[in-house]
Amino acid sequence: MLQVEGVVKSFDDFLAVNEANLSVQKGEIVAVIGPNGAGKTTLFNLITGQLPRDRGRVVFKEEDISELPPYERCRRGIGRSFQIVNIFPRLTVFENVQVAVLSHQRKSSTLFRPAGNLAVVETGSLLESVGLSDKGKNVVGSLSHGDQKILEIAIALGNEPELLILDEPTAGMSPEETFATIELIKRLARTRGLTILFCEHDMDIVFSISQSIMVMHQGRTLIQGKPEEVRNNSEVQAAYLGGE
């Protein structure tokens, strides 16, 4: 479904991503791992279009989306949650998700009907599926960190994406929250037929739920393969797993 081919991105003189390759099949759960600074978030930004790449291609569902702005890529079916909680601070939980749903329904520019009456059902069911429906009216500032990260995911789901990209979805969570979030992600993938691409530091999670793992080091792709292959690969062990 998603192919990233030889993508390069540098900031002034710093080469953040250097010939990265990634392949994601439909229905898979794929993880990207690597030490801090390996370029994982930059890679995600290149895939979703937040950053333009210097060289290389991003192909989604057989279409070259390398030149498209972020909102176009989103409309084609890519949803994304951010590593640092990136929500709408002045809106309620309900309104946060509603923005995404309205965008998906192409109703963002409707002028003369009250927003409170639109997309209520869809937003409500989305909140329910992530377990936040009782907090709908809360302003986001009052949510716990874990809940905010779940809200991140809910917003990303508002556009009914086919590919969901999650940037460190459990960062900063307690073990109970982490477990619950991973179960949530697995359930969502099953019930909505999502393809998931994520990055994580917790290796237990990575190896337990991924079907394919891509390892990055200093902006390059070291290897991509099944968990067993990656675990046994000597280069990976040297660069990441063994040394740490």
Partner 1 sequence: MSGKLLDFKAAGFTFVLFLILLLLPPFIPRFFVYILGLIYVTSLLAMSLNLLVGHGGMYQFHHAVFYGVGAYAVALILTKTSLPAWVAFIGGPILAALTGLIIGWFCVRLTRLYFGMLQISLGSLIWAIVYRWYKFTGGDDGIHGIPMPRFLSSLNSSYYFILIVLALSFFLLYLILKSPFGSTLQAIRDNPQRCEAVGINVRRHQLRAIVIGTFFAGIAGVLFVVLERSVFPDLLFWVLSLEIFIMCLLGGWFTFAGPMLGAAITVALRTFVGKYTEYWTLILGVLLILLIFFLPEGVMGYFLGVFKSRGKGMAERRNP
Of 99 and 214, the one with the shorter C-beta distance to partner 1 is 99
Taking the least distance from each CB to partner 1, the nearer of 103 and 237 is: 103
Which pairing describes strands 55-60 and 2-11: parallel, antiparallel, or unpaired? antiparallel
Q: Which is nearer to partner 1, 137 or 234 (CB)?
A: 137
Q: Indicate the residue among 188 and 230 with the shorter CB distance to partner 1.
A: 188
Q: How far is the CB of 19 from partner 1 (least distance, A)?
A: 25
CB distance 153 to 81 below 8 Å? yes
Q: Which is nearer to partner 1, 39 or 79 (CB)?
A: 79
89 burial level (CB within 10 Å; 0-12, 13-18, 19+): exposed
- Choice between 90 and 244, CB closer to partner 1: 90
- The DSSP bridge pattern shows strands 212-217 and 29-33 to be parallel
Q: In the complex, what is the shortest distance from the CB of residue 164 to partner 1, in angstroms, rounded to a whole number?
A: 12
Which residues of the chain form contacts with partner 1 (CB under 8 A)? 48-50, 69-71, 74-75, 79-80, 82, 86-92, 94-95, 98-100, 102-104, 107-118, 120, 137, 155-156, 158-159
> Phi first, then psi: what are they for 131, rounded to 5°?
85, 25
| Beta carbon of residue 167, minimum distance to partner 1 (angstroms, whole number) | 11
Which tokens sit at 225? 């393969």
Cβ 112 to partner 1 shortest distance, Å: 5
CB of 198 to partner 1, least distance (A): 15
* CB 188 to partner 1: min, Å: 17
